[in-house]
Structure 1
């Protein structure tokens, strides 16, 4: 006899099904990761650092640092406000490449250091906060495009350099002795604010007698490698930064520890200002979305089925499922339970005792035979064990049908009393 095949009734997803559902997302993530690795590998050999005198990138400033070194000007690169303040001394120029990154405490430190120094301070594209601290009385105006501009001023350094690539922030204010050059709509993009004297000097001469002053450049483009050789950019840069023998090149950084209170910064200090309002807006948006998408609970509403399935098809489909799963025990239990449910009212057994063999079997046996025999056979038929094979299951179904048919025939032929008798 051939053994019936084993069928699995598990509904848990298999490995093949999980792979078929998630392979698209996994492939997309793999492509994204490979793209990031390729881009990182292509850029790994490049040098970076905008306006960094050690960088040979197009936006770096190594070419300018080399020219200054050839003319006897030493360049010291610093990345913190404290280093910049400590490096200030006689015959020294301080270049701040991005003063807009400095906090109020850093600006106060620089203002104190430059107030004691006798050299020059060069600020690249300072905004109003930096101007209030390091160049009081000067106001910043709307920026202009960076392009070739003529000096149109009497400042010796600008006149010697000639045309240069200037633009960016424009400035107003300061005294009558200020040098206003490379103007756009009457407002200079290069402004020299003198200190004690209004004397301007060229490249370092070794005397150290240059007067303290502050130079504001609206744009830093002329200091970059890719523009230094164009027009008078190199000449102007060398004269502005080479007026003293020592140059402190300050590259502000957001990682500067001097920006924190007492030298330490918490996690909240690293979050941009206004984050509380941002979180509040996100919370309001989440609540509104929840109200919009939430289901409104109410009483159950019956709905008609879109398709009516005949009972025969339902029975056949369920039987095929039992057959595929080899569930003869469950099929037999369903057949016996249905037969007992139909026989109970015919033999006078209450629904509560449908599954009670001691009550149902004697009642059925009494209706079949007058002496109450064959109770053992009825018990095996209605409450017996599961069939061993499909053939035994079919025989069980036939015997249950015969039993139910016998009870029905007796019910139909039983004598009934007339209601009027």
Structure 2
């Protein structure tokens, strides 16, 4: 027995044809990806994220760090809890840039390390459950706007700085000797709580006075330098997601609340630790992908007749449409097409006008009168329901062919 290869039809494409059709789009996507990654890498060069003393980004803090270094203060960056806790001491100011992203275990360890260190701890926008852990005796209230505010307190650093851009989370305390400055609706946005000996804890409601683009406004620079420059050594603690201590003391992350602290303080967890260049690169890639999808998407609108550049055999068109019907399991549509074509061909043979082809009352009597021996239900054959399965559809095809032959020969 010999087998013959089934010739390829217009409904099937070879891998080469598929590659020819899609290579332009794939090349465009590849170029966009490479360009986006290169742009993100260039933009992130030298940038380390929000409140980072190494970052020249508008929301970085390199300017205040350089000013402190010029005044003889050493500035070190810590990214793990062990580094931050080990650096606490009477001659050290410890700035915690993201207290709300620390786990409860990390917050408790940090508090134990700084409580008796006799140094200064500066907490940037702590909120919710992190405040009583890091500054016992204080509690936070809802966040307010950041705007130019007068100090209205006796803190020497605040009186020397004068008006500064303060706001954000507000604080209150019942502790004696605590100093509340830059009030908003009666609550402090800068709270200084004395500790043992000469140590103290400073709570700032917002980080704006440390940003590069805000440092030269109001008395921001003076206030920032005095808060961070009271000791000869500054440790800038930037909590890191890969800090091993984050998995100790339980698997929970954050400060144990529902996440409102991070929202109120401007912290965004993982997103806040990503350099802004990578965020912009990802946004640009997403926009480019959306534009490419719109460009290549199917246009919606009425169908337009188009002349094909080549002649296609009727058998190929029929086979292609049949494959589409079978793939969609559209036996009803296939049966309706077969019946409509049969009615259109036999109507002129039995004297029925084209406009009455789909009218059973006109067509069926004319066909029955033409047949020598009408057999079966012509109404079910020409206007009946859709076949239940493929076998019934094939049977319907044979019956329609037989009916048409009989009409033509009668």
Partners in 2 of 1:246 and 1:301 — Cα distance? 82
The match for 2:8 is 10
* CA shift in 2, pair 1:226/1:44, >3 Å: closer
The match for 1:259 is 246
> What is the deviation of 1:44?
5.0
User: Is 1:174–1:193's contact at 8 Å kept on the other side of the alignment?
Assistant: no
The match for 2:65 is 65
Partners in 2 of 1:60 and 1:302 — Cα distance? 67
Residues 1:307 and 2:340 aligned together: yes
Give 5+ residue unaligned stretches, structure 1: 1-6, 198-210, 275-296, 314-421
SS of 2:341 mapped into structure 1: coil
User: Is 1:90–1:117's contact at 8 Å kept on the other side of the alignment?
Assistant: yes
* CA shift in 2, pair 1:302/1:92, >3 Å: closer
Partners in 2 of 1:309 and 1:47 — Cα distance? 74
Partners in 1 of 2:224 and 2:115 — Cα distance? 23
The match for 1:74 is 74
The match for 1:102 is 102
* CA shift in 2, pair 1:16/1:186, >3 Å: same
User: Is 2:100–2:130's contact at 8 Å kept on the other side of the alignment?
Assistant: yes
Map 1:256-405 → 2, pairs under 5 A: 256-261=243-248, 303-304=335-336, 305-309=338-342
> What is the deviation of 1:19?
4.1
Map 1:221-260 → 2, pairs under 5 A: 221-260=208-247
SS of 1:59 mapped into structure 2: coil
Partners in 1 of 2:44 and 2:230 — Cα distance? 37
> What is the deviation of 1:151?
0.6
User: Is 1:146–1:165's contact at 8 Å kept on the other side of the alignment?
Assistant: yes
What are the superposed Cα offsets for residues 293-331 of structure 1, whole Å, 9 maximum, x if unpaired?
A: xxxx9x999954342359999xxxxxxxxxxxxxxxxxx
What are the superposed Cα offsets for residues 175-229 of structure 1, whole Å, 9 maximum, x if unpaired?
A: 24211111111111101111246xxxxxxxxxxxxx1111000111101222112
> What is the deviation of 1:239?
1.3
What are the superposed Cα offsets for residues 98-151 of structure 1, whole Å, 9 maximum, x if unpaired?
A: 111111121121111012201111100001222121111211111111111111
SS of 1:252 mapped into structure 2: coil
Return the index of the structure with the highest Cα Rg.
Answer: 1
Residues 1:48 and 2:53 aligned together: no
Partners in 1 of 2:74 and 2:333 — Cα distance? 87
The match for 2:383 is none
> What is the deviation of 1:248?
1.4
Moved more, 172-181 or 159-168: 172-181
Partners in 2 of 1:51 and 1:237 — Cα distance? 13
> What is the deviation of 1:71?
2.4
Partners in 1 of 2:334 and 2:22 — Cα distance? 37
What are the superposed Cα offsets for residues 361-387 of structure 1, whole Å, 9 maximum, x if unpaired?
A: xxxxxxxxxxxxxxxxxxxxxxxxxxx
The match for 1:113 is 113
Partners in 1 of 2:39 and 2:120 — Cα distance? 42
* CA shift in 2, pair 1:140/1:302, >3 Å: same
SS of 1:67 mapped into structure 2: helix
* CA shift in 2, pair 1:311/1:178, >3 Å: closer
Higher relative contact order by CA 8 Å / sep ≥ 6: 1 or 2?
Answer: 2
User: Is 1:91–1:244's contact at 8 Å kept on the other side of the alignment?
Assistant: yes
Task: Kindly tell me the number of residue pairs found equivalent between the two proteins.
Answer: 267
User: Is 2:124–2:204's contact at 8 Å kept on the other side of the alignment?
Assistant: yes
The match for 1:385 is none
The match for 1:177 is 177
> What is the deviation of 1:38?
4.9
The normalised TM-score by structure 1 is 0.56
Partners in 2 of 1:238 and 1:136 — Cα distance? 26
SS of 2:340 mapped into structure 1: coil
* CA shift in 2, pair 1:196/1:45, >3 Å: closer
SS of 1:128 mapped into structure 2: coil
The match for 2:280 is none
RMSD of aligned alpha carbons = 3.6
> What is the deviation of 1:16?
5.6
SS of 1:228 mapped into structure 2: coil
